[in-house]
């Protein structure tokens, strides 16, 4: 009789443990979805700041690809702090993070303008403000 009771408690404990593990996994999935979509942010004014905060949380957790993707999106939206960190990650990726982060020269230029607080504009050879004989400007990220 005592053996049957022990078996029932053990089975019950296993069911509870399994249920807890399922709930933990489901919670982690929901949290990841909220973080990736930004659904947990309140109001439109918090979106850029919230995006940067989430990116830095991924950065601090050493989730480099996720952090870079989120920082890049925020930098593309004109966030100067995100542009600064994303630029550093793109330029120093192999040395500091052990991986390469893809970025085009044009995107780096847009991020440089965002860091300087200038509006990002898309130019082409036909609409570039430089004269034909003038050299391109050399910009150093973070230099004032």
CA distance linking residue 12 with residue 54, whole number of Å: 39
Return the pLDDT at 110: 93
Angle at 110 between CA 115 and CA 52, to 5 degrees: 55
| Length reported for the chain | 144
Model pLDDT, residue 14? 86
What is the pTM (predicted TM-score) of this model? 0.51
In this structure, the number of other CB atoms found within 10 A of the CB of residue 54 comes to 21
Cβ contact 95:87 at 8 Å: no
Distance CA 24, CA 101 (A): 32
pLDDT in tens, the chain (144 residues): 555 555 566 888 888 888 888 878 777 777 776 766 655 444 443 456 788 889 999 999 999 999 999 999 999 998 999 999 999 999 998 888 899 999 999 999 999 999 988 644 444 444 444 455 555 554 445 544
Report pLDDT for 31: 74
pLDDT at 85: 92
């Amino acid at each position: 009789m005592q053996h049957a009771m022990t078996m029932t408690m053990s089975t019950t404990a296993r069911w509870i443990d399994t249920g807890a593990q399922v709930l933990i996994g489901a919670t982690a999935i929901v949290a990841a979805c909220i973080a990736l979509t930004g659904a947990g942010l309140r109001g439109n004014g918090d979106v850029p700041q919230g995006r940067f905060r989430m990116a830095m949380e991924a950065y601090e957790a050493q989730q480099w690809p996720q952090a870079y993707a989120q920082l890049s999106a925020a930098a593309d939206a004109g966030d100067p702090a995100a542009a600064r960190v994303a630029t550093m990650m793109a330029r120093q990726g192999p040395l500091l993070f052990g991986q390469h982060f893809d970025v085009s020269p044009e995107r780096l230029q847009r991020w440089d303008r965002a860091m300087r607080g200038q509006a990002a504009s898309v130019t082409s050879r036909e609409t570039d403000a430089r004269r034909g004989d003038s050299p391109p400007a050399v910009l150093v990220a973070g230099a004032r």
